[in-house]
Amino acid sequence: MRMLLPIAVFGLVVVGGIFGYAALQEPAGPSRPIEAMAVETQGSGTGVASGEPSPDATVLQIRPGVSTATFTVEEILRGEANTVVGKTDQVAGQIALDPNEPSNTRVGTILIGARALATNDTMRTRMLRQFILSTDQFEYIAFTPTTITGLPARVTPGAAYQVQIDGKLTIKDVTRDVSFAANITPVSMSELTGNATTTINQKDFGITIPQVRFVAGVADEVKLDLSFVATAA
């Protein structure tokens, strides 16, 4: 027993050291500049978010560096409520806007660069990327729209439109159905601005939060916000 105790302690120190060392390592950065996936060229139908765009449609690109994706989650830090916000400006996607028949508007898969997500705390950011989202393995979070409801019969530049965008959200290797409430403003026929919001549960995506000193608990609900500017290529 006297010999086993030092061995066990040594083992715990080594394991703890490895974990601590890993937490201090800088996670991999983006493998390349984020690029939009093209709007699909298969399928059709009113109100379908992805499919064959009208020949009169203008393809708009969601602009990385200007558009942002944000998550907000509540935690108990040192016995007090704390709001954690993570954000990235690495967002890309395509929108095929048909000014004559807005119901034919198509939205391609929207990609979010998870390796660029950051909070206001360096250690928390590293934990988020390495141990929560595993960004070395899963570089992107993806939302693939399937249906848009609430599109207007006509588009008026400068007017804001409230729509619902349903689709498939993939985080790590788990995909779930989600609905975004969106507010979209066509600045012109070659520029759109907007924001979209939804709330998800971490457990639905198999996300687990490592036990961290001083953090008593993290809420399951996470608010997701997408703010975008899309312009003609």
Give 154-175 pLDDT, tens digit per residue.
Answer: 989 999 999 999 999 999 999 9
CATH of the domain at 67: 2.40.128.110
2 found inside a domain: no
User: Residue range 17-22: average pLDDT?
Assistant: 40
Between residues 206 and 98, the one the model is more confident about:
206
* Number of domains, the chain: 1
Task: Give the domain range for residue 168.
Answer: 28-232
14 found inside a domain: no
- Single pTM value for the model: 0.83
b/e burial code for range 17-31 (CB count within 10 A of at least 16 → b): eeeeeeeeeebeeee
49 pLDDT more than 90: no
User: Residue range 106-127: average pLDDT?
Assistant: 95
Lowest mean pLDDT among 43-47, 65-69, 73-77, 136-140: 43-47
Coil, helix or strand for 105?
coil
Q: Which residues contact 196 (CB under 8 A, 6 or more apart)?
A: 165, 180, 181, 182, 183, 225, 226, 228
133 pLDDT more than 60: yes
22 found inside a domain: no
Q: Could you tell me the CA-to-CA distances from 62 to 89, 94, 95, 104, 195 in Å, in that order?
A: 11, 6, 8, 18, 12
